[in-house]
Amino acid sequence: MTALLSHDSTNFTLACDGCGQLVTNLAPTMGTWDVVWSLFSQDGWTGDDLATGPHTCGRCARTSPPRMVEQALTRERTTPATRQSRRLTVTHVAGVVVVTLNGNPDLAINARLRDLVLDLHGRVRRLAVDVTRVSRLDSGALDVLVQASRLCIDVCLVGAGQQIHYSLRLLNLDRLFRTCQTLPEALSDGQTVDVSLPSTGVPRSDRVEAL
Ligand SMILES: [Zn+2]
């Protein structure tokens, strides 16, 4: 992710993936990501239109670093899929993978989330991420969710609070993800699904595992 969110999600920094140059304090002066990127791309920066990048400054523009998704697809796992954690649990309900984050994401959680997304690629189309107990999503977590979206996984954020909504709007990522207030809403997709009875007609897919 090359647009790095501030801790309170109200500001962001643009980082060059080539040389690491940082351009800070962009939100107060320019507003949202779309405005920032239109100005920087006129100034010689190149890269993806999405805040997740990669992006390179004018000096680094001649080199072409591997795209983040390619890097993620080719890199070694950082965590075994079966590793236990109370902070990130995975449930399968009615064809939807539900990831519940039980605290704000950090490097370890984001690595597990990334491995999960790569595991789901080609097998599962819908991912609901329950962020009811999360106050903020950092740039790393948002990067993983963008990757999921790019891998054709329909991502729905469940129970996002004000700060998360604000960061999605700031980086213009709100157009990539659905947001729902409740899990049944995320699962329903226009139909009514009784999540209190997951075993009904859902063989094996209601299993719960921890990553
Ligand atoms: Zn650079």
Domain boundaries, the chain: 3-65, 88-193+203-210
At the second CATH level, the architecture of 88-193+203-210 is 2-Layer Sandwich (3.30)
Query: How far apart are alpha carbons 72 and 93 in whole angstroms?
Result: 26
Query: How far apart are alpha carbons 144 and 119 in whole angstroms?
Result: 13
Task: Tell me the CA–centroid distance for residue 46 and ligand 1, in Å.
Answer: 10
Query: How far apart are alpha carbons 141 and 184 in whole angstroms?
Result: 23
The one-digit pLDDT tens for each residue of the chain (211 residues) are 689 999 999 999 999 998 999 999 999 999 999 999 999 999 999 999 999 989 999 988 765 555 554 455 445 555 555 455 788 999 998 889 999 999 999 989 999 999 999 998 888 899 999 999 999 999 999 999 999 999 999 999 999 999 999 999 999 999 999 999 999 998 886 444 444 444 444 444 444 544 4
Task: Tell me the CA–centroid distance for residue 33 and ligand 1, in Å.
Answer: 18
Which residues neighbour ligand 1 (ion) by CB within 5 Å? Answer: 16, 18-19, 21, 57, 60
Joined tokens for residue 183: 């899990």
Task: Tell me the CA–centroid distance for residue 93 and ligand 1, in Å.
Answer: 44
Q: Smallest Cα–Cα separation from 170: which of 23, 21, 36? A: 36
